[in-house]
A = this chain, B = another copy of it.
């Protein structure tokens, strides 16, 4: 049996975060020692790795909750897991596009700056007047 610190070291998830995951129901409440300290088993390591990996890939807690539930029913169709992953993929795609447009605007702003006084600073000017932006929306 592992202490919470040992579990933390093996999964690279911080101790308070593990307790937090327990609190919000991502991790099941583990058995305790007589002194009320948490003790974990191999299953907990797997589950927490799963959570960690999904978080790293940007899934939110709700999605992870669903994915965890699914992973416990190996006989069910995986269409749902697919749907969750795809939905998230679309979200990420959208975010990348957004950031890329934004990046272009920022670059233009910085490149056009003459590095002189604030009064002539392109950065400040553009911020003050959206009309000077290349794109209508960001």
Say yes or no: is A121 at the interface (Cβ < 8 Å to chain B).
yes
How far is it, in angstroms, between the C-alpha of A71 and the C-alpha of B44 when the chains are bound?
54
Give every chain B residue within 8 A of A78 (Cβ-Cβ). 113, 115-118, 120-121, 123-124
Q: Map CB proximity to B onto A79-123 as digits: 1 under 8 Å, 0 otherwise.
A: 101101110110011011001101101110110010111111101
Give every chain B residue within 8 A of A110 (Cβ-Cβ). 82, 85-86, 89
Say yes or no: is A2 at the interface (Cβ < 8 Å to chain B).
no
Q: How large is the interface on A (under 10, 10 to 19, 20 to 34, 35 or more residues)?
A: 35 or more
Nearest-neighbour CB distance to chain B for A122, whole angstroms, equals 8
Give the number of times this chain occurs in the complex, counting copies. Answer: 2
A81 & B123 in contact (Cβ 8 Å cutoff) = yes
A117 & B56 in contact (Cβ 8 Å cutoff) = no
Give every chain B residue within 8 A of A105 (Cβ-Cβ). 57
Give every chain B residue within 8 A of A116 (Cβ-Cβ). 77-78
B103 & A89 in contact (Cβ 8 Å cutoff) = yes
Interface residue ranges, A against B (CB under 8 Å): 46, 49-50, 53-54, 56-58, 67, 70-71, 73-79, 81-82, 84-86, 88-89, 92-93, 95-96, 99-100, 102-103, 105-107, 109-110, 113, 115-121, 123-124, 126-130, 133, 138
